[in-house]
């Protein structure tokens, strides 16, 4: 793949887990059905992951993560980046019957930072506060009483898995390249401060992971994207996502061969081998047959 496509980003195939062991990325995704009926729908699962897990942006926004912990560790730490939260959400969705996949691609700065400062508040309504999936929140304190919060269990802190030295070296190399470009073409970088503040210098390069839920199962009428960091569900034509490198679930890994300039108009028929390159032949040929049943 590297020889045929030297300009493309390397595939995230075997990152190290929290124990430092290299592990095939598909085996990290563990389909799980929890015992809570509230987490049987897509909206509820997305809201649970977004509200229960504290989102952390990637240390280097243009590099793939070096470590990908298990969904169990992410739940225990209650912290994770876009890859960790997407794998956790896809594990829950597949466990309750959805045709879900983790997407590795690119997104805009607002999405990568989970910046919702300009978003409306869909969970606010008359008569009370509602959560993201529309369930009315319960009042925390009784009349005349004081609210007391006691934690029965202490949340374990997430250890630092990424190598700070490697991250600093990569950042210094990127800064040196940008400084060299500025010296060669100073006129291209002489812009107004206002325009520079509004424009993202890493536009189209910010790596991000989210979840694709395909139509066919659980009465899904169309393909949708689910943003694990915020719980937002949107169409596959949303401009927030800039490109896709690969998708995977617990059975296979598909590499995008369409190479469209944007996500809009992409075909997510993974059984079309002219548009998606797979790793395992048996699972790639078996998936469409199971969907038809």
User: pTM of the full predicted structure?
Assistant: 0.75
pLDDT of 146 over the 70 cut: no
pLDDT of residue 238: 92
**pLDDT for 158-204, tens place per residue?**
666 666 666 667 767 777 777 777 777 665 555 543 444 367 788 88
Measured in degrees and rounded to the nearest 5, phi and psi for residue 8 equal -90, 155
**pLDDT for 198-245, tens place per residue?**
677 888 899 999 999 999 999 899 999 999 999 999 999 999 999 999
Work out the pLDDT band at 157, boundaries 50, 70, 90: low
pLDDT of residue 281: 80
pLDDT of residue 25: 95
Mean model confidence pLDDT for the chain: 81
C-alpha distances out from residue 278 to 111, 255, 257, Å:
28, 6, 10
* Residue 84, H or E segment: helix 82-95
d(CA 73, CA 194): 42
**pLDDT for 21-67, tens place per residue?**
999 999 999 999 988 888 999 999 999 999 999 999 999 999 999 99
Please say whether the beta carbons of 171 and 58 come within 8 A: no
Nearest to 253 by CA among 276, 235, 232: 276
* Residue 92, H or E segment: helix 82-95
Choice between 120 and 31, residue whose per-residue pLDDT is larger? 31
d(CA 77, CA 54): 9
The alpha-carbon radius of gyration of the chain (Å, integer) is: 21
């Amino acid at each position: 793949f590297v020889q045929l496509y030297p300009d493309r980003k390397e595939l995230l195939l075997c990152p190290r887990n929290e124990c430092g062991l290299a592990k095939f990325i598909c085996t990290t995704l563990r389909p799980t059905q929890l015992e809570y009926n509230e987490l049987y729908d897509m909206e509820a699962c997305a809201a649970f992951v977004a509200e229960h897990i504290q989102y952390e942006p990637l240390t280097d926004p243009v590099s793939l993560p070096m470590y990908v912990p298990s969904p169990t560790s992410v739940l225990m730490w209650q912290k994770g980046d876009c890859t960790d939260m997407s794998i956790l959400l896809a594990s829950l969705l597949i466990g309750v019957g959805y045709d879900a996949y983790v997407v590795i691609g690119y997104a805009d700065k607002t999405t990568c930072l989970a910046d919702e400062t300009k978003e409306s508040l869909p969970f606010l309504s008359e008569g009370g506060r509602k959560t993201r999936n529309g369930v009315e929140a319960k009042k925390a304190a009784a009349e005349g009483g004081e609210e007391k919060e006691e934690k029965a269990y202490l949340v374990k802190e997430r250890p630092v898995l990424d190598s700070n030295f490697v991250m600093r070296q990569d950042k210094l190399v990127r800064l040196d390249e940008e400084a060299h470009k500025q010296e060669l073409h100073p006129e291209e970088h002489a812009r107004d401060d206002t325009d520079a503040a509004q424009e993202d210098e890493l536009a189209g390069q910010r790596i991000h992971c989210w979840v694709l839920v395909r139509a066919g199962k659980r009465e899904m009428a169309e393909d949708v994207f689910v943003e694990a960091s915020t719980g937002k569900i949107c169409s596959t034509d949303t401009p927030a996502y800039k490109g896709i490198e690969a998708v995977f679930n617990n059975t296979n890994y598909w590499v995008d061969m369409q190479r469209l300039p944007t996500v809009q108009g992409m075909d997510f028929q993974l059984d079309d081998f002219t548009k998606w390159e797979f790793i395992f032949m048996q699972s790639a040929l078996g998936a469409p047959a199971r969907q038809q049943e």
